[in-house]
Amino acid sequence: MDNELIQFEKDDKHCVLFVQGDVDLSNSSQLRKTILSALKTSPEVAVHLSQVSYIDSSGIAALVEGLQYANSHDKRFYLKNLSPHVQSIIELARLDQVFTIET
């Protein structure tokens, strides 16, 4: 998949999703589907969020659903390089204590 919102790199064991721009009600379902699809085919999925200028609650929920799926299917799911906006939204909901976040 190659589009404006999400690009990815993949090998046998890893899938890395690069998200950019605004994530809101108009496209969060696309993020959710891409994350779940990546988790079905890779044991480890990372989501890079440094280029995300805005994320709404439905976008955060997509990330939570990814973690929910990974935990119940013995996969590894983590977030990487949060933009300041994403970081503050995740901290507001205290999800920084739930997600694995790498820099």
Task: Tell me which residues touch other proteins (CB under 8 A).
Answer: 21-22, 24-25, 28, 32, 53-54, 56-58, 60-62, 64-65, 85, 88-89, 91-95
CB of 94 to other proteins, least distance (A): 6
How far CA 96 is from CA of 23, 38, 57, 87, 89, in Å, comes to: 19, 22, 15, 8, 9
Give least dist CB 66 to other proteins, A.
11
* Eight-class DSSP state of 42: -
* CB nearer to other proteins: pick between 39 and 60: 60
What is the closest distance, in whole angstroms, from the C-beta atom of residue 44 to other proteins in the complex? 22
Whole-angstrom Cα distance, residue 44 to residue 77? 6
